Amino acid sequence: MKQIIPYGNADKLFDLHGRTCFIVGAGGIGATIAKAFAQKGAEVIIADINAHEAMQICANIQAEGGNAHTYTIDVTLKENVVKVVETVLQQFGKIDVLVNAVGVSATDSAVDFNEKAIDRILDINLKGSVFLNQSIGKVMIAQRYGKIINIGSIGGVLNHTTCTMPYSISKAAVHQLTRSFAGELSEYGINVNAIAPSWVHTPMMENRETAIYEGIRKGVPFGRMMAPHELIGAAVFLATDASNFVTGITLYVDGGYLSCKPLY
Amino acid sequence: MKYGLDFHNKIVLVTGAAQGIGKSISIGFASLGATVLLVDLEQNERRMVEIVNTADDVGGCAELFCCDITNDASVDKMLSDIKHQYGRVDILINNAGIYRTGPSVEYSYENWDRTSAINVRSHFFMSTKIAKHFMIPAGRGRIIFMSSTAAHFGVPEAVAYGVSKASTLQMTKALAAEWAKYNIHVNAVNPFFVATDLIAFFDEKTVESIAQKSPLKRIANPEDIVGGVLFLCSDLANYITGVHLDVDGGRTIAGS
Ligand SMILES: NC(=O)c1ccc[n+]([C@@H]2O[C@H](COP(=O)([O-])OP(=O)(O)OC[C@H]3O[C@@H](n4cnc5c(N)ncnc54)[C@H](O)[C@@H]3O)[C@@H](O)[C@H]2O)c1
Ligand SMILES: NC(=O)c1ccc[n+]([C@@H]2O[C@H](COP(=O)([O-])OP(=O)(O)OC[C@H]3O[C@@H](n4cnc5c(N)ncnc54)[C@H](O)[C@@H]3O)[C@@H](O)[C@H]2O)c1
């Protein structure tokens, strides 16, 4: 499966034709990646707890001539994850790429954060990610091939946003589970990497305070929030042969945010 | 938006292009339509001629410039020729480098100075000159520093090298922050061991044990580094700057 790319064939490095890509989380980021992968010739399988959302995106992709399918999944239930992955494997025969784009957050002060809310965030973001990496990892071990992409966050690296303590913990955990699975799966030719975005301009962001925008203008070298489509390239890189020698990394897509601390 | 890669009409300058990683990168760009300016020492002219031919075969084009990048006058002359002939440089790959080992207590001034002259000083001024004369006026540009995983760890018996590579990461971050307003992206690529002349002095047994400690169980070939460089120089990386991309087979994240 893994191809040696000869000199002078660099466009093949980024090819997704014929790749079966399982994208979990059909929100702003997952949907954008799913559409792009389908446009690049991949067979796209979209799963979300929100069946309606996933079907909508699937229909959009199909309307544009892409190859897409949907499943309902709750990543917090291990048996459910295992079952969905089995069904997908039966139907499509292989899973080349996993994009794990599920995630939730909530805000409160760290000292007051409600226990139930903490559990929910860790169940979805942390344990859900573990279950996905475990079940897809097993499929990929059998295939002796695969690419896993977990979506982390700059929030898992810095105290990037205030009042999101459990979310930040869960994202730091996503970066670490990426390293753990990368280490264990490397001998089977499987690459496991994470993408850590800073602020993505999704509908969720529309209503945020202007203070955030002001902070970004001053604090991020590129001076603006990223559009969801600006995450696609990192996903394409990590899903294709272009990144065959890259594993365990967290790729920051942050407009230079981490590289500096502005003095004024 | 196109999520493919296309470097037609792009002028790419690669230093240390005659062999190893620089050669692979140059051919990678050429195969995607770029015009590649190969920069290396005069003694490597014959090798560069071969790359010019290969670049042509794979659908791009290349021209060679014999230049010691530590020689300021010779760099200025080359950049003025490039300005005259091409009018711009869109992408700069700071790749030339040397690796001189020796126990620290015996390490010579000469080895320290040469390492820092090539691996640090020349890359800084190459970047500033190209930014000033080409990229800032154009309002865009991409710069890559070929750093190393050696930037992250202590490198016993090659302290000058480790320091030089840590320096390129600092330059990457500082220049990324300073030049973001001109839409110039500055990123680093960190290989671990790559099978090139740079590490040819290691015996086979050592290289094998290095490979076995690496999660992907081999050292890299120069071709393995190309995808990461092309990615960071393409539209796929429009919101990425100031990062270092470890293309190291997982070595950095593994234990000892
Ligand atoms: N939007 C940002 O600014 C940003 C920044 C950094 C990281 N991220 C991360 O990117 C990922 C995707 O974020 P997004 O912006 O697309 O968010 P989103 O809210 O638009 O999408 C998240 C999706 O996850 C689904 N989901 C929630 N619980 C689930 C469960 N138990 N099982 C299956 N699916 C479930 C939701 O239905 C939703 O469709 C998340 O991990 C998020 O933390 C987002
Ligand atoms: N090979 C590795 O294991 C490895 C690992 C990490 C990083 N790197 C880095 O990758 C880069 C390329 O290394 P490589 O392995 O291809 O090495 P290489 O020795 O095969 O090639 C380096 C090239 O740089 C050229 N060069 C040296 N000094 C120059 C000067 N003053 N002016 C112009 N050209 C000059 C050399 O002539 C040579 O062609 C270096 O910066 C190196 O530090 C290499």
pLDDT tens profile B114-157: 999 999 999 999 999 999 999 999 999 999 999 999 999 999 99
Owning domain of residue A38: 15-68+97-143+166-204+227-246
Structure tokens of A159? Answer: 């105290």
Query: pLDDT tens for residues A20-69?
Result: 999 999 999 999 999 999 999 999 999 999 999 999 999 999 999 999 99
Please state whether beta strands B11-15 and B35-40 pair in parallel, antiparallel, or not at all (unpaired). Answer: parallel
Query: pLDDT tens for residues A132-165?
Result: 999 999 999 999 999 999 999 999 999 988 899 9
Complex ipTM, two decimals? 0.95
Protein residue with its CA nearest to atom 42 in ligand 2: B97
Q: Show residues of chain A in contact with B245, CB under 8 Å.
A: 246, 249, 251
Domain membership of residue A102 (yes or no) is yes
Q: Are A30 and A46 in contact (CB under 8 A)?
A: yes
Active site residue A257: no
3-state SS string for chain B = CCCCCCCCCCEEEEECCCCHHHHHHHHHHHHCCCEEEEEECHHHHHHHHHHHHHHHHCCCEEEEEECCCCCHHHHHHHHHHHHHHHCCCCEEEECCCCCCCCCHHHCCHHHHHHHHHHHHHHHHHHHHHHHHHHHHHHCCEEEEEECCHHHCCCCCCCHHHHHHHHHHHHHHHHHHHHHHHHCEEEEEEEECCECCHHHCCCCHHHHHHHHHCCCCCCCECHHHHHHHHHHHHCHHHCCCCCCEEEECCCCCCCCC
Phi and psi of B163, rounded to 5°?
-65, -40
Domain membership of residue A236 (yes or no) is yes
Domain membership of residue A6 (yes or no) is no
For chain A, what is the domain count? 1
Residues whose CB is less than 8 angstroms from the CB of residue A77 and which lie 6 or more positions away in sequence, other chains included: none
Res B4: pLDDT: 59
Best A4, A188, A247 member to test B by mutation, with max B CBs in 10 Å, is: A247
Best B231, B233, B234, B256 member to test A by mutation, with max A CBs in 10 Å, is: B231
Where residue A204 falls among pLDDT bands split at 50, 70, 90? low
Residues whose CB is less than 8 angstroms from the CB of residue A197 and which lie 6 or more positions away in sequence, other chains included: A29, A151, A153, A154, A226, A231, A253, A254
- The CA-CA-CA angle for residues A200, A206, A209, to 5°, reads 100
Q: Are A178 and A195 in contact (CB under 8 A)?
A: no
Residues whose CB is less than 8 angstroms from the CB of residue B205 and which lie 6 or more positions away in sequence, other chains included: none
CA distance B135 to chain A (A): 16
Domain membership of residue A63 (yes or no) is yes
Q: Are A187 and B215 in contact (CB under 8 A)?
A: yes
Domain membership of residue A180 (yes or no) is yes
Question: Does A11 score more than 90 pLDDT?
Answer: no
Res B202: pLDDT: 94
Query: pLDDT tens for residues A95-129?
Result: 999 999 999 999 999 999 999 999 999 999 999 99
Q: Look up the CATH number of the domain holding residue A106.
A: 3.40.50.720
Q: For chain B, what percent of residues have pLDDT higher than 90?
A: 97
Domain membership of residue A84 (yes or no) is no
- The CA-CA-CA angle for residues A219, A222, A228, to 5°, reads 105
Domain membership of residue A51 (yes or no) is yes
List, in sequence order, every residue forming a beta bridge with A252; answer none if it has no partner: A196
Q: Are A235 and A143 in contact (CB under 8 A)?
A: no
Is the CB–ligand 1 distance for residue A153 below 6 Å? yes
Domain membership of residue A134 (yes or no) is yes
Residues B25-43: what's their mean pLDDT?
Answer: 97
Domains and CATH numbers, chain B: 11-247 (3.40.50.720)
